[in-house]
Structure 1
Amino acid sequence: MPISQTSSVLIIGAGTWGTSTALHLARRGYKNVTVLDAYPIPSAISAGNDVNKVIFSGQYSTQKDEIEVNEMLGQEAFSGWCNDPLFKPYYHDTGLVMAACTKPGLERLAVRIRPDSNANLVELTKPEEFRNLAPRGVLRGDFTGWKGFHARSGEGWANARDALVAAAREAERLGVRFVTGTQGKVDALIFEKNDVKGAITADGRTWRADQTILCAGANAGKFLDFKQQLRPTAWTIAHIALSPEERALYKNIPVIFNIEKGFFFEPDPEGEIKICDEHPGYTNMVEFPDGPRSVPFEKTQVPKESETRIRALLRETMPQLADRPFSFARICWCADTANREFLIDRHPEHPSLVLGCGASGRGAGFKYLPSIGSLVVDAMEDKVPEKIHRLIKWNPGIAANRNWKDTLGRFGGPNRVMDFHEVKDWTNVKYRDISKL
């Protein structure tokens, strides 16, 4: 049946990509859009439900055609942060430092940043050059072995949770219906005659739709066999609270990101600094009859080994904070494709099912919030340009016999993909509702 603006469209998942898709459907005039999610907005398990995310134009690809496509997608997203009145208030153009310490790390850094194409970059080779990025003396660490580049503008961070909520509220204003809680918790997709015709929720209701869009992030594998194309992978974050007097000292520092050690931001509006230790990620591998899969779970703590890495990063950069207690900690899930490219496509075997998956740890896909939904809607309307489609299409062949331990070019920690079954000790940070930080 041809798609029209009155077609019923059902979106599974109200995280970053599901919300962006709902917004762009509404902006294109679709009148019958429903979003299902088990959690109220913002979803407690969405990677986008966070105080801040890096907004960075760097590369993850090495091939010319891949670089061209990703630069175009990145520019569309950045334009949204800078020019869309809905998102512009949440973007902070503080600048960004990207650095590494070892030869392999510096080689990978050369993939992610190309100085010859950006006159805005300043090379940093000495510890004092890193310390001078914060004139109020908060970057007082040794920065031993650090080398990198400082983008003085055109990079920064976004108030993630607030931007996500704003996008959802605007979609609602334009007529999108969000259904959450038990009524929105999807148990299964409806498969009929080799197609998908909607979903069934935990309250037993059947939600039928002309088009179903799966934007369930790391949980997408619960509803569909992705033939090894997705690997749920988790990262680790912690917050440290600053006193009101301290906050002004740290305000407007650039995002500091060492791709082998971790990254941190200026304080969020509530006065907390978020720190993430960098590593190739954690899985939670579980054996199933058809083979092993990584299964996401929710936890508002981090492994003790992660805490050790976070505090080591602080000792190198802001030693005055290295022994402060954490005010919050969390594991954060994303779904890795085999090549770290997105998976956005109409399913070739289920013609009414569209996939918006595989953010692949690229800022948890969050930096694309202003624009990614437009690409998902293009997939639904079968008008993705061929150059882009080749890169993001359903392609189980590239994931055949997949190495679940592939680091995908990431560094940090033990420089290998870890598994939560190996973790012996966790932090004991007092629980806080992350939707109300």
Structure 2
Amino acid sequence: MPRWRIPAALAAAGLMLAGCANPSVGSANDDPTKPVTLKFWHGWATPGEVKAVDDSIARFEKLHPNIDVKATGNVSDATINQALRAGGDKAPDVVSSFTTNNVGQYCDSGMWADLDPFMEKTGLDKRKTFPKALLDYTSYRGNQCALPLLADAFGMYYNKDAYEKAGIERPPRTMSEFEEVSKKLTVRSGRNSYKQVGYMPNFRFYQNSPDRLFAQWGPRYFDAKGDSRLAEEPATYDFFKTARRLARAQGGFDDLERFRLTFGDEMSSQNAFLTQKVAMHLDGEWRGLMLKDAKADFEWGVAPLPVPDDRAETYGRGFITGTVAGIAHSSKHQNAAWELVRFLTADTRQVVSFANAIHNVPSTFAALKSPDLDADPTFRTFFDILRNKHSKALPPSVNGGAYVVSLGDFAYSVEAGRVGDLREGLKKLDEQIDADTLQSKS
């Protein structure tokens, strides 16, 4: 399973035990210049990704011939956390995760070591090295227990041929333009079906989980105490109103849902954007490479997703996520482990090489400016989205990914018309998220 498609429910469920863990205590007294073997666990699984990881390790070992790195791939968060709870010689020293919204649990549980002391003694200035959005999702309440290891940015792919046929000159920049363009691009094939929809707004469609579109509003999920505040957030109501309007403009939820059920698998040759059943599509930077490999028989482009009309100045923003890396608290080789983490996350040549190899967005300022980066202009659109100061990632929480799952379940009910009073429904959602957070701390 590609790294950015790990279901949030599984990621959340796998970590629910971490909040009550009593992690083994490791050591930061080791000499990183002495011979040592480090165990590095990661989640990459496809042959190309594994090769890119192995090549990265080879580059590191050439710079640090005293450090031997044993890498294990295709490892889930649940497996990593079980090993860290147990501790001992079989536990990993360096770990990575594809689930940024679990960072709150990594940090709060003590499973992952605080990296600030290592950065301080080796002179790495994190604020000058990494974009703020990435630092936000790799720390929790002052504990920087992880660092970004490449990123994913979400934008809007659009069918240029469909645009030309509909007389549309440029991608929409505001939600009202988005609604208008979506309607123009929608082509019916009968009373209850379609040949093409402009944009499929239904939240069960591929990458359309509600948190990704919601990022265009820059919402605050939690208050200063860590309590859920979705019912208090004005953007929440505008977000659901906009989603309903997008659906109504193209025929309504029921017709759209019937059409969605005819789509092929996201990762197949029957992908709805590839087969031109959808003219505009929310997706990440990896989709461009897939479209090229599939030899899409239409011209396509990439642009940032539209933003709310009253936030037009934030156009260019998007949803940000990515891989995070850290040091196991139980490791007895934490200084040597830091050398590996620092190399993987902050060495410019390494970050650029890795980003080019697996077609992900670089996660440092220096790498984003490198002339050695893939020059594909559609790929570089995602660099701009990452650099945009308004771009947002999901906030870390000791609740892990459970609050995202709860929001998704609620959003499915809203779009299907099963929530009569939105405010009351959101209040109950807040209560559920807070109860899950309390349970994760017990």
TM-score (norm 2): 0.28
TM-score (norm 1): 0.28
* Bigger CA radius of gyration: 2
Higher relative contact order (Cα pairs below 8 Å, separated by 6+ residues): 2
The structure carrying a bigger strand percent of its residues is: 1
The structure carrying a bigger helix percent of its residues is: 2
